[in-house]
Amino acid sequence: MKKILNTLLSLSLLCFSVGSFADVAKGPSLFDRMGGEKVARQIVADTWANHTSNPIVKNRFANSDGAYVKQKVYEIFAMATGADVKYTGKSMADTHATMNISEAEFNAVVDDVMSALEKNKIAKQEQNEVLAILWSVRPAVVNSNLTTKTLTTEKMHK
């Protein structure tokens, strides 16, 4: 019985120390490392300003409600970078599916975000982490309504 209790005690101590090491290893979120809400909102505002003056994509946003899109983009940016913020907008695929967005447009949007990060003096490490997040969203945004199947059906070639 004593042996079982000792084993349980060492196991729980082990779990406790692994748990605390994991917390230390995890460190502050990308969101916090970039400066938290104030900086994130500024990055979103600068990105919006870049989009609406970038000749490759500005027409896409001509009829958009800037305040609405900025709020949704802030939420998704905050959530994706580890803040305790809930995204309340539409899914990435639903939002962009009918727009037939090209790779050039996607790259232009990424460039706009990267120059907003640069403007807000975000370090290279954090910039790269944001870039990886943006690229993970790419399949849901670029040409999301054009699949090989739709491109090769007879309907498309008539």
Q: Where does this chain bind ligand HEM (CB under 6 A)?
A: 57, 60-61, 64, 69, 72-73, 76, 89-90, 95-96, 101, 105-106, 109, 134, 137, 141
CB 19 to ligand HEM: min, Å: 33
Q: Which is nearer to ligand HEM, 20 or 102 (CB)?
A: 102
Q: Which is nearer to ligand HEM, 93 or 151 (CB)?
A: 93
The Cα 153–Cα 157 span in angstroms is 7
Q: Which is nearer to ligand HEM, 73 or 117 (CB)?
A: 73
Closest CA to 129 of 114, 116, 141: 114
Closest CA to 34 of 109, 135, 131: 131
Q: Which is nearer to ligand HEM, 64 or 150 (CB)?
A: 64
CB 81 to ligand HEM: min, Å: 12
CB 104 to ligand HEM: min, Å: 9
CB 11 to ligand HEM: min, Å: 43
Q: Which is nearer to ligand HEM, 76 or 97 (CB)?
A: 76
What one-letter code names the amino acid at 133? I
Q: Which residue is nearest to ligand HEM (CB)?
A: 89
The Cα 134–Cα 132 span in angstroms is 5
Measured at the CA of 96, the angle between CA 93 and CA 97, to 5 degrees, comes to 65
Closest CA to 121 of 36, 43, 27: 43
CB 37 to ligand HEM: min, Å: 17
Q: Is 18 exposed, middle or buried (0-12, 13-18, 19+ CB in 10 A)?
A: exposed
